[in-house]
Amino acid sequence: MASGFFVLLDDIAAIMDDVAVMSKVAAKKTAGILGDDLAVNAEKASGFASSRELPVLWAISKGSLLNKIIILPIAFLLSAFLPIAIIIILVLGGLFLAYEGAEKIYEFIFPHKHEESEGITDEVLTEEQILEMEKGKIKSAIVTDFILSVEIVIIALGTVIGEPLTQQIIVTSIIALVATVGVYGIVALIVRMDEAGYKLIKFSKSEKSISRFIGNLLVKALPLVIKALTVIGTIALLLVAGGIFVHYIPFFHHYVPQIKLPAIIKEFVIGLALGLVVLVIVNLLKKIFKK
């Protein structure tokens, strides 16, 4: 009886060891889209009155958890009964990511005007108006999170698609939870950077004090950090998309290894090329439907 118990413990330890290894692989595969998720959510969680940033972020975080609770069971059912659907969703998701990355690059090179939105501040709007606008932004952020969450879950699941279902569930669930807690935890720190900076400036007694210097640095750094995350996220989107195309589309899987370039360059170029194709198609469809 005792020996059977220790055999069971040994089996559990072996499974957990496999889970740890696979979780590392899945984390690497999803790192690119997590970078974009971080950039998107940092941008969406900023621009609110200081006292409302964390409550808004908490509301978005709860929505993100609910998204994953909805997505995970569906993904596991597809993996168990229709595994080919995971590959199809991966490729379709890759096209979406490539399109999003290409669109950001296109907009950077050929900027166009956007409708100016009213700032959410305590001075300009009433409390009811602030809450109403917050609801709109929260809903928009949760919808965006849903799309990114589908990709995170499917990419994570794609790395363990050949493993036993139990390990698929554990690994993918770990990645989904880490994605939510990690991303929104970092976003919370980012959006409070300027507030921390203002407090350091306020409590500094000297114009040349270290606390005032750090405070000014934090205040000035916030928009730069968000811009940097946007650039990193865009590159990561195209790399993730390119990696999906190379691994799951036979043509690229067999053709790309013959090109003598680093894998990261190949994946970026393929991701950008297909992203631009999708961008052209989407823009043409928009023009047709407008007419």
Phi, psi of 198 (to 5 degrees): -60, -40
Q: What is the mean pLDDT of residues 61-66?
A: 89
For helices 165-191 and 210-248, angle between their N-to-C axes, nearest 10 degrees? 150
Q: Is the model more confident about 15 or about 180?
A: 180
Distance CA 42, CA 216 (A): 20
Query: pLDDT band at 279, cuts 50/70/90?
Result: very high
Highest mean pLDDT among 5-9, 35-39, 71-75: 71-75
Instruction: Write down the pLDDT at residue 134.
Output: 77
Instruction: Write down the pLDDT at residue 1.
Output: 44
Q: What is the mean pLDDT of residues 183-195?
A: 78
Query: pLDDT band at 272, cuts 50/70/90?
Result: very high
Query: pLDDT band at 101, cuts 50/70/90?
Result: confident
C-beta separation of 75 from 159 below 8 A: no
| pTM score over 0.85 | no
Query: pLDDT band at 276, cuts 50/70/90?
Result: very high
Q: Is the model more confident about 285 or about 236?
A: 285
Distance CA 150, CA 90 (A): 9
Contacts of 201 (CB under 8 A, 6+ apart): 211, 212, 215, 216, 219
Q: How far apart are the first and last CA of the chain?
A: 76
Q: Is the model more confident about 263 or about 24?
A: 263
Please tell me the least confidently modeled range out of 31-45, 137-151, 155-169, 186-200: 31-45
pLDDT tens sequence across 125-150? 666 776 777 788 788 778 877 877 88
Contacts of 31 (CB under 8 A, 6+ apart): 236
Total count of domains within the chain: 1
Please tell me the least confidently modeled range out of 5-14, 87-96, 114-123, 261-270: 5-14
Query: What is the domain extent for residue 234?
Result: 2-290
Query: pLDDT band at 273, cuts 50/70/90?
Result: very high
Instruction: Write down the pLDDT at residue 10.
Output: 39
Q: How far does CA 120 lie from the centroid of its chain?
A: 25
Highest mean pLDDT among 69-83, 198-212, 256-270: 69-83
Instruction: Write down the pLDDT at residue 236.
Output: 79
Instruction: Write down the pLDDT at residue 7.
Output: 37
